[in-house]
Amino acid sequence: MPDVEFGARKVFFMLFLMLGPIKILVPFVTITKTWEPTLRRQVAQRAIFFSAGALAVAGLLGRTMLENFEISLPVLAMTGGIILFLVALRTILQQSASLTDHSLTPDRAPDIKLAFSPLAFPTIVTPYGIAAVIVFATLAGNRQAEGLTVAAIVLSILALDWLAMLFADAILKWVGTSLQVLAVVLGVTQAALGLQIILHSFNMMEW
């Protein structure tokens, strides 16, 4: 991506907290704890399909709108940096409650519709996750390689979400506390990276 270089590793790192599996574990277990394993797998699979479809549509529509307004690359990069910083800050400040969320009704009656809401929306596909995908898709522009890279990264993160739901009980049992520490470490790193992108975008602008 000319003038604005994120790279596949940075894009993956940026999207991981926004769309990644850390935040899906507790809601999934809370909702499906008493369900049959077959139904749990079906719900997990449908949640990922819904999420992938929503992100694809949002990315295409958002990219079209931003390109029609002819927003400059530095401004798009700054938008990504601000989103990254705010999400990282939110993660750091609220992480203590993320694995003990009681807002969901535990052991809800089995219903395949729950794959759509609240699992796919807004747990996996968050508003800020959609915003980040739109920014990265727009930055890729008409360059097929960069566009495919963004798509592959999003799909790989959704695959991790799917695996996390399949093994959610074991993950929370053995590494639940470690996930809180990991999320904070990732949050601090992403906050710093977000600020770096914002400052770099300022330097790229023509005043």
Predicted local confidence at residue 150, as pLDDT: 92
pLDDT score for 1 = 40
pLDDT of residue 99: 45
pLDDT tens-digit readout, 148-170: 999 999 999 999 999 999 999 99
Using an 8 Å Cβ cutoff, are 26 and 172 in contact?
A: yes
Terminal C-alpha separation, the chain: 22
pLDDT of amino acid 162: 97
**What value does the mean pLDDT take over residues 56-61?**
92
Q: What is the DSSP letter of 207?
A: -
| pLDDT at residue 176 greater than cutoff 90 | no
Estimate to the nearest angstrom the gap between the alpha carbon of 188 and the chain centroid.
Answer: 16
Lookup result for tokens 């990265």: 136
pLDDT band with cut points at 50, 70 and 90 for residue 107? low
Q: What is the mean pLDDT of residues 125-132?
A: 88
Q: Assess whether pLDDT exceeds 90 at residue 51.
A: yes
Determine the distance from the C-alpha atom of residue 173 to the mean position of all C-alpha atoms in its chain, rounded to a whole number. Answer: 23
Mean of pLDDT values over 13-41: 89
The larger pLDDT score, comparing residue 143 to residue 123, is at 123
Q: Where are the domains of the chain?
A: 8-204
- Per 3-state DSSP, the chain is made up of helix, strand and coil in percentages (nearest 5) of 80, 0, 20
pLDDT above 70 for 194: yes
Is pLDDT of 91 > 90?
no
Is residue 71 scored above 90 in pLDDT? no
Q: What is the average pLDDT value for the chain, to the nearest integer?
A: 84
What are the structure tokens assigned to 55, written together?
């992100």
* Residue 170 backbone phi and psi in degrees, to 5: -65, -40
Exposure class string for 23-40: b at 16+ Cβ within 10 A, else e = bbbbbbbbbbeebeeeeb
- pTM score, whole prediction: 0.84
* pLDDT for the residue numbered 69: 85
Among 53-62, 117-126, 192-201, name the one with the lowest average pLDDT: 192-201
State yes or no: pLDDT of 202 exceeds 90. no
**What would the mean pLDDT of 179-184 be, rounded to a whole number?**
81
Picking from 8, 14, 15, the residue whose alpha carbon sits closest to that of residue 158 is 15
Residue 101 scores a pLDDT above 90: no
